[in-house]
Amino acid sequence: MSATSVTPKALAIHGGSPVRETLLPYGRQSLEETDIRAVVDVLRSDWLTTGPKVAEFEESFAVRVGAGHAVSFSSGTAALHGAAFAAGLKPGDEAIATPMTFAATANCVLYQGATPVFGDVCRDTLNLDPEQVEARITSRTRAILAVDYAGHPAELAPIQEIAKQKGLLVIEDACHALGAEYRGRRVGCIADMTVFSFHPVKHITTGEGGMVTTNDPRLAETLRRFRNHGISSDARQRQKAGQWHYEMVLLGFNYRLPDIVCALGCEQLKRLDANLARRREIAGCYTAAFREVPGVIAPSVRADVNPAWHLYPIRLNLEKLTADRAQIFRALRAENIGVNVHYIPVHYHPYYRDRFGDKRGEFPIAEDAYERLISLPMFHAMTDADVQDVVCAVRKVMNHFAS
């Protein structure tokens, strides 16, 4: 297409001018000088790891979510592994999970030699369907892994009731949902164990890092030992007691979160409420703007929850569009809107197909959603101008492809 034939409203992918001059990512960290100073202070201290900042971060986090205990880990994946271990998963066991998640949720079951059994999701929230959970329980089932997709809490009450009746543990993967509320209670104090992530695109960050919260002191003690080589005490405890002796009581890993990044976590946690408020404001702007945009289905929110909005995943009404998801994705990227897709269903991945067989077609709701999903930029440092750029680009692209 020649420059003379380009109209002002032409899509950037067709040679038109993009909505933005530079790419707006779907998520990114937000750091302030107080964060930097806190990290530098630890670098100048006597403890870089297993020191006082670890306990400070854990205690502050437990208070924030209303849990009795919080145990930090080197990543959200390590935290999931710790929860699977503490749940007692072992070879021959099964745990029910959702395919609409990052692979780490199911991988933590495999790390223990157990088998993940997938259940389909609810059509509105894309969270694990309790009816699917109940239908997949066998004599080998030991745990249920419920994911708070995009920051919308899972259907915790019915899932917990099923777990109680069957003698199972509930592990809530809340890596998207720090600050979310379910029926008036904060996520993190409801399930047997709740797992959080502090990756840079999350509500607060420690670079990498994770946390497991629980109200069960026995689970908490197992988690602490597991993340520290299976040893029953840490270096700071031994120094304080003036002793050298330690005992390895289980086979654990080095999954510790250092003081350096726990200092960052302490500072970030102070801004969590402000971060959540901004994400909710952005989500409100998006939802209001997209009500009349052809082909766009905004995320559903149930009446009894307050989501944390880690992601803002729209679904495309492909029946009203002349393009598929791949074309629309490319068109939005060309407008410099850094859209993404969350997630490729876990059972689609080659490793899972090779190990468990091709199960495509068994989870129609999750699979149909995958073909339609696009995650729009969502992070608390977005400006009002950023938000309007996203809205403008979505309208521009969708109007072009409206049937």
Q: In terms of domains, do 225 and 318 share one? A: no
The pLDDT assigned to 8 comes to 46
Q: In terms of domains, do 145 and 234 share one? A: yes
Catalytic residue among 164, 202, 359, 396: 202
Q: What is the C-alpha separation between 124 and 300, in angstroms, rounded?
A: 6
Q: In terms of domains, do 47 and 187 share one? A: yes
Q: Which of 224, 252, 269 is the last residue of a domain?
A: 269
The pLDDT assigned to 2 comes to 32
The pLDDT assigned to 239 comes to 74
Q: Which of 254, 269, 284 is the last residue of a domain?
A: 269
The pLDDT assigned to 4 comes to 35
The pLDDT assigned to 313 comes to 98
CATH number for position 20: 3.90.1150.10
C-alpha closest to that of 177 among 200, 158, 204: 204
Q: In terms of domains, do 158 and 293 share one? A: no
The pLDDT assigned to 7 comes to 41
Report the DSSP beta bridge partners of residue 169: 143
Report the DSSP beta bridge partners of residue 147: 173
Domains: count for the chain: 2
Q: In terms of domains, do 159 and 170 share one? A: yes
pTM: 0.95
CATH number for position 152: 3.40.640.10
Q: In terms of domains, do 167 and 227 share one? A: yes
Q: Which of 221, 240, 269 is the last residue of a domain?
A: 269
202 part of the active site: yes
Q: How many CA atoms does the CB half-sphere of 355 hold within 13 Å?
A: 14
C-alpha closest to that of 339 among 315, 375, 310, 312: 375
Q: In terms of domains, do 212 and 234 share one? A: yes
Range of the domain at 231: 33-269
C-alpha closest to that of 347 among 120, 78, 111: 120
The tens place of each residue's pLDDT in the chain, 403 residues long, gives 333 333 448 999 999 999 999 999 999 999 999 999 999 999 999 999 999 999 999 999 999 999 999 999 999 999 999 999 999 999 999 999 999 999 999 999 999 999 999 999 999 999 999 999 999 999 999 999 999 999 999 999 999 999 999 999 999 999 999 999 999 999 999 999 999 999 999 999 999 999 999 999 999 999 999 999 999 877 777 677 777 788 999 999 999 999 999 999 999 999 999 999 999 999 999 999 999 999 999 999 999 999 999 999 999 999 999 999 999 999 999 999 999 999 999 999 999 999 999 999 999 999 999 999 999 999 999 999 999 999 999 999 999 999 9
Q: In terms of domains, do 322 and 246 share one? A: no
